[in-house]
A and B are shown apart, each in its own frame.
Chain A
Amino acid sequence: MRLIGKQLASKLLWVLGQVLLLPTLLMTSVQAFGASDAVVDEAQRWGLNMTEGVTAVSHEIYDLHMLIFWICVWIGVVVFGVMFYSMMMHRKSSGAVPAKFHESTAVELAWTLIPALILVLMAIPATSSLIKIYDSSEAEINIKIVGYQWKWQYEYLGEDVSFFSNLTTSQDEIYGLAPKGEHYLLEVDEPLVIPINKKVRFLITANDVLHAWWVPALAVKRDAIPGFVNDAWTIIDEPGIYRGQCAELCGKSHGFMPIVVHAMEEADYANWLAGKKDEAEELKAAMSQTFTMDELYARGEKVYQANCVACHGANGGGGLGPSLVGTGITTGPINAHINVMVNGVAGNAVMPVFGNQLNNIDLASVITFKRNAWGNNMGDQLQPVDILTFKKNQ
């Protein structure tokens, strides 16, 4: 028995030595072929690997990923090498006579302890990365991110700047009626804007169901959970536009709520922020203005496209939500219509409470639009001040 064990061990070692040569050959040949630019370009177009990203953390995660990957490749080469060697050499058809050996505590111990050791080696860098990722202290900018069905809201804490970010890809592109643009499904009306080289902390939560905020280039992915706030952070190295998507199934339009991050030089960011604050001031002033029917209709159509179209359809014909053409709400008393928009529908979680998602101008416009579009022709209109009065009186 002991003799067999020795024979087995030496034979195994010889095979291992042979198969360990293989990956070296493989890697050299990959490098030789890799020199060709065309191959590299083609591989990039198909998208084979994780992005290295644009932050220190994303680089670290990429390195960790590649380290574990290569360890797995080497283990695979050894294990499959021995396997294929046996399949080639130890066939009954080529006259192989089965050996009788089995059970060896030494061998069993070795292949328990060696993998355990490799795991410890993997755990060390993984632990140190994780500790870094969890340290969200000393952030210079705090941004609250709220997931909604099916859009994101960004609120710059302490800056009085807050906006929604909606998908801008048209329904025609999605349904193949128009050619798809370069950033199909990964484009929004208002991206999240942050400065480079500053520690930005994200406070992530949700308004309805679970979502997850994920931008691969930043290696940030955190679940957005209604009623709880998660945090994550990033420091971006290079200016640019980075795109991501919601990563947690959140209902019908889960695939249609992208994330776009626009990282800018610090000065550009300051300008942008100032512009945003001015916009907020203007909006406040506009709240008391009176708009013409055409202005309301045009604005309302945009609001409809961003917020309502997913459920009520491109022409108000309905879908997940009811039809808006010639039905009770859009052609009934206007106050009931405002009520549905501001307060939602009791017992129906799918219809959002738009009172705290849209401002009064947008609410007035979108209601006006719906009452006059698609042949509803009610002829009535609302001003932002009407919404304000409604909210005050309830």
Chain B
Amino acid sequence: MGDHGPAKGFGRWLFTTNHKDIGSMYLWFSFAMFLMGGVFALVIRAELFQPGLQLVEPEFFNQMTTMHGLVMVFGAVMPAFVGLANWMIPMMVGAPDMALPRMNNWSFWILPFAFTLLASTLLMEGGGPNFGWTFYAPLSTTYAPPSVTYFIFAVHIMGASSIMGSINIIATILNMRAPGMTLMKMPLFVWTWLITAYLLIAVMPVLAGCVTMMLMDIHFGTSFFSAAGGGDPVLFQHVFWFFGHPEVYIMILPAFGIVSAIIPTFARKPLFGYASMVYATASIAFLSFIVWAHHMFTVGMPIAGELFFMYATMLIAVPTGVKVFNWVTTMFRGSMTFETPMLFAIAFVILFTIGGFSGLMLSIAPADFQYHDTYFVVAHFHYVLVPGAVFSIFAAVYYWLPKWCGNMYDERLGKAHFWLSFVGLNLTFFPMHFVGLAGMPRRIPDYALQFADFNQVASMGAFLFGFSQVFFLFIVIKTIRGGEKATDAVWDNPEGLEWTIPSPAPYHTFTTPPPIK
């Protein structure tokens, strides 16, 4: 079995059931989507470079904000984490492959169809989705362009893919661990993914229900979201955010797992509180289900609801704080080196914490009346998603790439990529705090003159950040094609089963379970 290599040609990728192949395909796909969503973002930033309409019309601008959000959330961040899960979870728990390899193939291969369908709406008559990635009704139903039906179908496919992926991950973690790999011995990346997978299974059907109700309203004369027929547009928001809030944690919990693997390696010191990290992750996951209406503070909820969602949201700061304190204490009195994965991980901790601070500010309902739907919110969620989710993915790629392809990346280039990204993203998103507080609403193609200076800075930062990612592509390809050979351990005494196998990892690993200490 062990010497059974990959098949030849394109068939290898089309029919593969190998977790490493599928992981690689997920990662490449998500990077392609990252570039596509990035181009949409650059269209937005180019138009916002100065006041007035210069490059695109407002209709197209709205399609860009919508598609940027959808592609980044469902096409870039989520598939990247699934790709990492595919590669790493079997190797981390000592399993030969994922539990359901054929479904694994299927859950990947429906994604390119979903996103081709979604992207094709841009070329349709009436244009693509233009109602924001949150697609609030009735703008997305009664007032939507005809292409909304394709959008709904694409969302259904993405949901199916995510649900299948999660079932696979749960089945793998619960059934395929090597003997002796108890739950509380699992690496945190495995733990955070286990919890994430449960979140996905819980909320993706809610999203499917939400878009199905839209479909019924549009084509079959129902009025779920139309007051004129006895429905309620606010119902849409409740259903959407019941999915949407756990969704944002789906995009950050695996990142917590990655950072919890990287910091101990480069601090040369065990993670300070493993068990409390597990409990904190579980608490965050639980809280994510009871805070959804903090996205709707201005919707006119009764005060009791407003207070409940405010308190519950503030509470999230506690387990999140536990995580940050744990990472910092892990670094404290360590013996640190600052290779590229560590740089990204440290930037993650700092900038994610800044995003957490603005999150705490947003949770204060009275103050949210001023922040809501402004660039302050845009700054907040980009701080938790870009240096949060995206940086953790970069960190993971630099950390595990030598294991995947057997070659070390070029440390100088990696560091250059880090610093370019770091400067670019802060130039882009930090000024958004200021324009938001000064009163600039989000999702507008043109703005009053007092917001001009910061928008100019943000646009320049965005182009810097965007072009640094092309540089990242170059670094990864260069590493795959050659370079200094990586050792099996790659780093200085890292923890985990993946470092006990050769680099590059053979096509099949752990065909017999490894012994667990």
Interface residues of A (CB under 8 A from B): 8, 11-12, 15, 45-51, 60-61, 64-65, 68-69, 72, 75-76, 79-80, 82-83, 86-87, 90-93, 96-104, 107-108, 111-112, 115-116, 119, 122-123, 126-127, 129-131, 133-134, 149, 173-176, 180, 182-186, 208-210, 212, 214, 216, 219-223, 225-228, 230-231, 244-256, 319-320, 349-350
Assembly CA distance A64 to B368 (angstroms): 11
Question: Which partner residue on chain A sits nearest B439 by CB separation?
Answer: A216
B113 within 8 A of A: no
Q: Is A254 in contact with B364, judged by CB distance below 8 angstroms? A: no
B224 within 8 A of A: no
Q: Which 8 residue pairs across A and B have the least CB separation, nearest first? A: A227-B227, A255-B444, A47-B438, A230-B300, A72-B357, A129-B366, A99-B333, A98-B335
Q: Is A91 in contact with B337, judged by CB distance below 8 angstroms? A: yes
The answer, among A112, A186, A226, for a CB contact under 8 Å with B322, is: A112
Q: Is B59 in contact with A320, judged by CB distance below 8 angstroms? A: yes
Assembly CA distance A332 to B249 (angstroms): 57
Known A220-B369, A226-B227, A244-B439: A98·B273 in contact at CB below 8 Å? no
Assembly CA distance A111 to B59 (angstroms): 49
B338 cross-chain contacts in A, Cβ below 8 A: 87
Q: Is A96 in contact with B334, judged by CB distance below 8 angstroms? A: yes
Assembly CA distance A155 to B299 (angstroms): 21
A-B contact pairs, 18 of them (CB 8 A): A11-B333, A12-B332, A61-B369, A82-B328, A86-B334, A90-B335, A91-B337, A96-B335, A98-B333, A99-B269, A99-B334, A119-B314, A123-B311, A176-B53, A222-B300, A231-B300, A247-B373, A349-B142
A21: min CB distance to chain B, Å: 19
Instruction: Specify the main secondary structure of chain B where it touches its partner.
Output: helix
B295: min CB distance to chain A, Å: 12
Interface residues of B (CB under 8 A from A): 51-54, 57-59, 62, 130-132, 136, 138-139, 142-143, 226-228, 232-234, 267-276, 298-300, 303, 306-307, 310-311, 314-315, 317-318, 321-322, 324-325, 328-338, 346, 349-350, 353-354, 357, 360-361, 364-367, 369-370, 372-374, 434-435, 437-439, 441, 443-451, 453-454
Assembly CA distance A290 to B162 (angstroms): 67
A98 cross-chain contacts in B, Cβ below 8 A: 267-269, 333-335
A50 cross-chain contacts in B, Cβ below 8 A: 370, 437-438
Question: Which partner residue on chain B sits nearest A311 by CB separation?
Answer: B59
A-B contact count (CB 8 A): 290
Q: Is B132 in contact with A249, judged by CB distance below 8 angstroms? A: yes
Question: Which partner residue on chain B sits nearest A350 by CB separation?
Answer: B143
B357 cross-chain contacts in A, Cβ below 8 A: 72, 75-76
Question: Which partner residue on chain A sits nearest B366 by CB separation?
Answer: A129
Q: Is B322 in contact with A68, judged by CB distance below 8 angstroms? A: no
B348: min CB distance to chain A, Å: 12
B49: min CB distance to chain A, Å: 12
Additional A-B contact list (20), CB under 8 Å, known A65-B364, A83-B331, A102-B274: A79-B325, A80-B353, A91-B335, A96-B333, A99-B333, A104-B272, A107-B273, A119-B317, A122-B314, A176-B52, A180-B52, A184-B448, A209-B138, A221-B298, A247-B372, A251-B62, A251-B130, A255-B58, A255-B444, A256-B446
Assembly CA distance A131 to B306 (angstroms): 10
Assembly CA distance A319 to B445 (angstroms): 16
Known A87-B346, A133-B369, A208-B143: A254·B336 in contact at CB below 8 Å? no
Question: Which partner residue on chain A sits nearest B136 by CB separation?
Answer: A210
Q: Is B354 in contact with A76, judged by CB distance below 8 angstroms? A: yes
Known A93-B337, A98-B333, A126-B366: A108·B361 in contact at CB below 8 Å? no
Assembly CA distance A250 to B438 (angstroms): 21
The answer, among B143, B300, B451, for a CB contact under 8 Å with A209, is: B143
B279: min CB distance to chain A, Å: 9
B357: min CB distance to chain A, Å: 4
Q: Is A126 in contact with B364, judged by CB distance below 8 angstroms? A: yes
Instruction: Specify the main secondary structure of chain A where it touches its partner.
Output: mixed
B367 cross-chain contacts in A, Cβ below 8 A: 61, 64-65, 68, 126
Q: Is A68 in contact with B51, judged by CB distance below 8 angstroms? A: no
Question: Which partner residue on chain A sits nearest B369 by CB separation?
Answer: A221
Known A90-B331, A216-B439: A225·B298 in contact at CB below 8 Å? no
Assembly CA distance A208 to B144 (angstroms): 12
B495: min CB distance to chain A, Å: 12
A387: min CB distance to chain B, Å: 25
Q: Is B438 in contact with A210, judged by CB distance below 8 angstroms? A: no
A15 cross-chain contacts in B, Cβ below 8 A: 332
Known A102-B273, A130-B365, A223-B299: A83·B349 in contact at CB below 8 Å? yes
A148: min CB distance to chain B, Å: 12
The answer, among A12, A108, A251, for a CB contact under 8 Å with B276, is: A108
B44: min CB distance to chain A, Å: 13
Assembly CA distance A226 to B451 (angstroms): 31
A108 cross-chain contacts in B, Cβ below 8 A: 273, 276, 322
The answer, among B370, B372, B434, B441, for a CB contact under 8 Å with A48, is: B434
Q: Is A249 in contact with B62, judged by CB distance below 8 angstroms? A: yes
A183 cross-chain contacts in B, Cβ below 8 A: 448
Q: Is B373 in contact with A212, judged by CB distance below 8 angstroms? A: yes
B138 cross-chain contacts in A, Cβ below 8 A: 208-210, 226, 349
Known A86-B332, A103-B273, A180-B52: A255·B445 in contact at CB below 8 Å? yes
Known A130-B365, A247-B441: A91·B373 in contact at CB below 8 Å? no
Q: Is B139 in contact with A251, judged by CB distance below 8 angstroms? A: yes
B332 cross-chain contacts in A, Cβ below 8 A: 8, 12, 15, 82, 86, 90
A246 cross-chain contacts in B, Cβ below 8 A: 441
Known A115-B317, A175-B53, A254-B444: A46·B369 in contact at CB below 8 Å? no
Known A51-B439, A244-B439, A255-B444: A60·B273 in contact at CB below 8 Å? no
Question: Which partner residue on chain B sits nearest A118 by CB separation?
Answer: B317
Question: Which partner residue on chain A sits nearest B52 by CB separation?
Answer: A176
Assembly CA distance A97 to B268 (angstroms): 9
A37: min CB distance to chain B, Å: 19
B285: min CB distance to chain A, Å: 17
Q: Is B272 in contact with A102, judged by CB distance below 8 angstroms? A: yes
Question: Which partner residue on chain A sits nearest B269 by CB separation?
Answer: A98
Q: Is B366 in contact with A133, judged by CB distance below 8 angstroms? A: yes
Q: Is A47 in contact with B336, judged by CB distance below 8 angstroms? A: no
Assembly CA distance A183 to B449 (angstroms): 8
Q: Is B441 in contact with A214, judged by CB distance below 8 angstroms? A: yes
B143 cross-chain contacts in A, Cβ below 8 A: 149, 208-209, 251, 349-350
